[in-house]
């Protein structure tokens, strides 16, 4: 049910997914994959995910930016739902998504994917969403890896 297609990251780096996506890559590279104050202005547009290598193989949402695509579709309260509840429409969704985040965390490399998936909405019902997702791993002060993602809707 869920389809994920990987694309070269230069699509986003060149601004073809918007200026925020390009700025995110620029900030990530300029800071050698470390978090700093330049990154803070981008947080409202991002989602923060648990590193699956530190979370029993599951990528869970830690924060949904209030101006992010996830917040616009699902609402910020979506963070509070369990991963299994969010993925109840497609049982393999969490495993598929967690694998992508794990690859990014292990390789310290960004990913750009097109996702097409049905999602159970917190208010009930299902919505089939299509969006580009950027995953960026960041190294924290003591060497741990944390993951942020940015999503850009695909207009049909």
Is the torsion defined by CA of 21, 26, 29, 32 positive or negative? negative
Q: Which helix (H) or strand (E) holds 13?
A: helix 10-13
Count CB-CB contacts under 10 A for residue 43. 16
Residue 13 has pLDDT above 80, yes or no: yes
Question: Highest mean pLDDT: which of 38-42, 82-86, 97-101, 109-113?
Answer: 109-113
User: What's the average model confidence in pLDDT over 125-142?
Assistant: 88
The predicted model scores a pTM of 0.84
Q: Which CATH class is domain 3-34+45-153?
A: alpha beta
User: What's the average model confidence in pLDDT over 54-60?
Assistant: 73
What mean pLDDT value characterizes the chain? 82
Q: Which residue has the higher pLDDT, 134 or 143?
A: 134
Residue 127 has pLDDT above 70, yes or no: yes
Which H, E and C letters describe the chain, residue by residue? CCEEEEECCHHHHCCCCCHHHHHHHHHHHHCCCECCHHHHCCHHHCEEECCHHHCCCCCCEEEECCCCHHHHHHCHHHHHCCHHHHCCCCCCHHHHHHHHHHHHHHHCCCEEEEEEEEEECCCCCEEEEEEEEEEEEEECCCCCEEEEEEEEECCC
Residue 39 has pLDDT above 70, yes or no: yes
Which pLDDT band holds residue 81 (cuts at 50, 70, 90)? low
pLDDT at residue 86, rounded to an integer: 54
Which pLDDT band holds residue 87 (cuts at 50, 70, 90)? low
Alpha-carbon gap, residue 146 to 59, rounded angstroms: 11
Instruction: Tell me the pLDDT tens digit for each residue of 101-118.
Output: 889 989 999 999 999 888
pLDDT at residue 40, rounded to an integer: 83
């Amino acid at each position: 049910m869920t389809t994920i297609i990987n694309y070269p990251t230069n699509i986003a780096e060149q601004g073809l997914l918007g200026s925020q996506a390009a700025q995110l890559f620029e900030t990530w590279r300029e800071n050698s994959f470390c978090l700093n104050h330049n990154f803070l202005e981008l947080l409202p547009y991002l989602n923060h995910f648990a590193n699956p290598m530190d979370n029993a193989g599951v990528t869970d949402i830690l924060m949904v930016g209030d101006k992010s695509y996830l917040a616009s579709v699902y609402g910020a309260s979506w963070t509070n739902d369990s991963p299994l509840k969010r993925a109840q429409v497609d049982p393999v969704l969490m495993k598929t998504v967690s694998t992508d985040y794990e690859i990014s965390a292990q390789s310290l490399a960004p990913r750009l994917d097109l996702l097409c998936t049905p999602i159970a909405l917190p208010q009930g019902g299902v919505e089939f969403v299509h969006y580009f997702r950027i995953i960026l791993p960041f190294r924290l002060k003591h060497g741990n890896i944390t993951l942020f993602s940015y999503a850009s809707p695909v207009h049909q």
